[in-house]
Amino acid sequence: MKLEEITKVMLDYDGAPVGFNWRGKQFLVASKPVRWYSRKLWWEEAESAQKGIGAALMEIEMWRMWALSEQDRVFFELIHNQPQDNWVINQINRQ
């Protein structure tokens, strides 16, 4: 799957997504989001690292959740790229 960006991500006080827009639809998170961290293939993405940004270079914040739009119920796996603060879909499963 090609990574697709999502927009207008709304977060709770702990930084978990509670809603977002994707393909012109507004989705509300319908389950408790689960967060974990994965490792980036840093050697493919960066030629050298600036001092002090090692964690941002090495780790990817990932989230899994069910979300609802008016027509769909979808299981999303999202990637939160930091420090750029953009969100992309890594995987979806429709029910």
Whole-angstrom distance, CA of residue 78 vs CA of residue 87: 7
Give CA separation, 41 vs 2, 44, 53, 63, in Å.
17, 6, 15, 18
Residue 80's CB is within 10 A of a number of other CB atoms, namely 18
Whole-angstrom distance, CA of residue 86 vs CA of residue 74: 20
Q: What pTM was computed for the model?
A: 0.79
Radius of gyration from C-alpha coordinates of the chain:
14
Percent of all residues in the chain with a pLDDT value above 90, rounded to a whole number: 59
pLDDT tens digits, residue range 20-52?
999 999 999 999 999 999 876 655 555 555 665
Distance from the Cα of residue 27 to its chain's centroid: 14
Domain residue limits, the chain: 4-94
